[in-house]
Structure 1
C-alpha cells in the first residue's frame, strides 16, 4: 500500500515538473547592482572585460576570451562570495529560497560540487594560476575556453516560477583580522523566466 502511494506521488511529481527559459536583459550578462551600498564596485570596475566575448543566441550565451583582475588584495585576505536570487513582486524585489554563500571563495571555486565551478569556473584554462592567485592579484588574467551558458531550467518541481528575476552576486575581501576591505563587487543578472509550453 505505502509502496504504491510512493510510486503514485513520484509519478505525479514528474508530471507536474516544468521547464523554463531564462530571457536575460543584457547580452553582457552582468550589470552593476541597482541597490548596492555606497562604494560598491561594478563588473567593469573590478575586471577588465574588453577581451571577453559574450554572444547571445537562442540556445544560450556563448562566452570566450579572458578577463583581467583590476584590484589588488593581500595574499592573506579572504574572499567571501554570495549569490542570491530575487523575484520582482508587487513593485519590489523579494528574496527567494535560492541562495549560495561561500565564506572562503578561493578554497571552493574549483570544487566540482560547487555551483561556482559547474557554471563558470570549470571553463577556465589556466586553473593552476587562478588556484594560486584567486581574484586577489592585480593583472591576473582568467583565460576561458569557449562555452555555452545555457539559459534553460529543466524539470523544475516547485510552484510556478514565471516572472521577473535578478541574481545578485557579491564578492567581499576580509583581512586577517576579519575586517572587511572597503572595495567590494556587486553585479546583477536580470531577466525573466518564461514557462515552456
Structure 2
C-alpha cells in the first residue's frame, strides 16, 4: 500500500511539473541590432549569413527589443538543386567565463521538406512572411531563389520545458549540403544569434 501511495505521488508530481514547465514563456532579446553574428574562429570554407543570402535588397532595423525586417533576399550559396540540406541548432549559455552547451538543440536532416512547414519555429518567425512562398517552396535554398518578404517583426517568445532559463545565451545554426551520393559540399554556413532570455508574462 505504501509503495502504491509513493507511485501515485510520483505520478501527480510529474503531471504538476510538466504543467508548470509548459507554462514558462521567455522572450529572447537579441544583442546585435542586425540580429545575425558570424561564428567565431571558423575556417574560410565556413560562410556567414551573407554567404547564404544576397541581402542587398533586405533591411534590418531595431526599435527597443524588437527586430524589424523587410525586403528581398536571394540565396547565393554555391550548392546544387537537389542537394539535401541539413540544418542544426544548438543553444549555449554564457557561464562565468565561457560558453557552455545546453540540452536544447535539434538537427533537421532535410530542411527542404520543412522550410515552409507551419508548426516549425522558423515558419512562425520567418518563412510565414515570404509572400511568394507558392513559387519558391520547391526551390528550397538553392542559388538564385529569391524570397520576397512582407515587412515583419521578430518579437521572439518561446516555451521551455524543464528548469527556468535566464541570462546571456546564443544559438548557433549550422547548414550543410550533401550531393546525391551523400557527400558533403565543400562550403557550409554558420550563423550565431546572441541575446538574453527574460521571463515573459
TM-score bin, normalised by smaller chain: 0.7 to 0.9
SS, match of residue 55 in structure 1: strand
Superposed displacement of residue 189, structure 1: 0.3
Alignment-derived partner of residue 180 in structure 1: 184
Name 2:89's counterpart in structure 1: 83
Question: C-alpha distance in 1, partners of 2:161/2:140?
Answer: 36
Aligned with 1:180: secondary structure?
Answer: coil
Aligned 8 A contact 2:86 2:175 in 1: yes
Q: Kindly indicate whether residue 143 of structure 2 is the aligned counterpart of residue 132 of structure 1.
A: no
Q: Does 56-65 or 102-111 show the bigger shift?
A: 56-65
Structure 1 residue aligned with 2:166: 162
1:51 aligns with 2:57: yes
Give, in whole Å, the separation in 2 of the partners of 1:196 and 1:77: 39
Label 1:79 to 1:58 Cα distance change in 2 as closer, same or farther (>3 A).
same
* CA deviations over 1:97-150 (Å, ceiling 9, x no partner): 22121111111111112223222111111112321211112x321111112211
The equivalent position to 2:194 in structure 1, one of 180, 184, 190, is 190
Q: What is the SS of the residue equivalent to 1:10?
A: helix
8 Å contact kept, 1:27–1:55? yes
Provide Cα deviations, 1:58-85, integer angstroms capped at 9, x if missing partner. 3522221111112232222111111111
* Other structure's SS at 1:122 match: helix
Count residues in correspondence: 194
TM-score, L = length of structure 2: 0.82
Does the 8 Å CA contact 1:13/1:157 hold for their aligned counterparts? Answer: no
Q: Which residue of 2 aligns with 1:28?
A: 34
Deviates more, 1:182-191 or 1:140-149: 140-149
CA RMSD between the two structures: 2.8
Structure 1 pair 140–88 and aligned structure 2 pair: CA distance change class (3 A): same
Provide the C-alpha distance between the structure 2 equivalents of 1:134 and 1:12, rounded to a whole number of angstroms. Answer: 36
* Offset of residue 45 of structure 1: 2.2
Aligned position for 1:149: 154
Deviation (angstroms), 1:151: 3.2
Distance in 2 (alpha carbons) for counterparts of 1:186 and 1:47: 13
Unpaired runs of 5+ residues, structure 1, are none
TM-score of the superposed pair, with normalisation by structure 1: 0.83
